[in-house]
A and B are shown apart, each in its own frame.
Chain A
């Protein structure tokens, strides 16, 4: 079991460039999430998905888009990167139900110059 994997691990972008972060999980989880982690701010939810083909906005969705075409994959896109999007991005997944814990990937460190 690989758990939750994220690609890439590091990336440097210039302002205005685009990129896609890939998250994959092999635990057959229904729910998947994208968070960003910034110093002193904890984790903030960007977008989430409760099932294949469905996505929803979290706390800080502006500037990001997501897709979940397959149950095991959740993609996060930045169409036009901005320096404010410099952060560490974490993907997580869980079984459905509020009692279930989330399983996190190792993170992607993104720098936008």
Chain B
């Protein structure tokens, strides 16, 4: 079985400040890792994903996440947040091979303060 833990349910941060949203997972086998973002009153959309290769992955809007196998973490970071980054962020994990369910974390609400 796999699980995902997002320790922070809410993270307030001032505009232009850096932010880190934490995600830890557990799995006995290889996994793929995803970050999804949900803007108010919308569905989730993919922000970035780690499949293999370089442990640092980036999104088009300045977010990055680093896969750390030894610490079983996939934290999301941005060096300078904007008001438009206000949203809820979900970490997700999926085992490789055939159909495998996706396990989502409980989400972290990022509130960017002007």
A: residues with CB less than 8 A from B are 4, 31, 40-43, 45, 48, 50, 58-59, 90, 92, 96, 98-99, 101-107
From residue B108, how far is it (CB to closest CB) to chain A in Å?
Answer: 10
B96 touches A98 (CB 8 A): yes
The A contact surface, by secondary structure, is: loop
Decide yes or no: A31 and B44 within 8 Å by CB, A42-B104, A42-B105 being known contacts.
Answer: no
A-B contact list, 5 entries, CB within 8 Å: A31-B99, A40-B9, A98-B96, A102-B44, A104-B43
> How far, in angstroms, from A92 to B45 measured CA to CA in the complex?
10
Complex interface: chain B residues within 8 A of A45 (CB): 101-102
Complex interface: chain B residues within 8 A of A90 (CB): 43-44
Q: Count contacts on B: residues with CB < 8 A to the other chain.
A: 26
> How far, in angstroms, from A102 to B105 measured CA to CA in the complex?
15
B74 adjacent to chain A (CB < 8 Å): no
B101 touches A41 (CB 8 A): no
Nearest residue (CB) in B for A106 is B43
A99 touches B51 (CB 8 A): yes
> How far, in angstroms, from A43 to B34 measured CA to CA in the complex?
14
Complex interface: chain A residues within 8 A of B105 (CB): 42
Complex interface: chain B residues within 8 A of A41 (CB): 106
Nearest residue (CB) in B for A43 is B104
Complex interface: chain A residues within 8 A of B97 (CB): 98
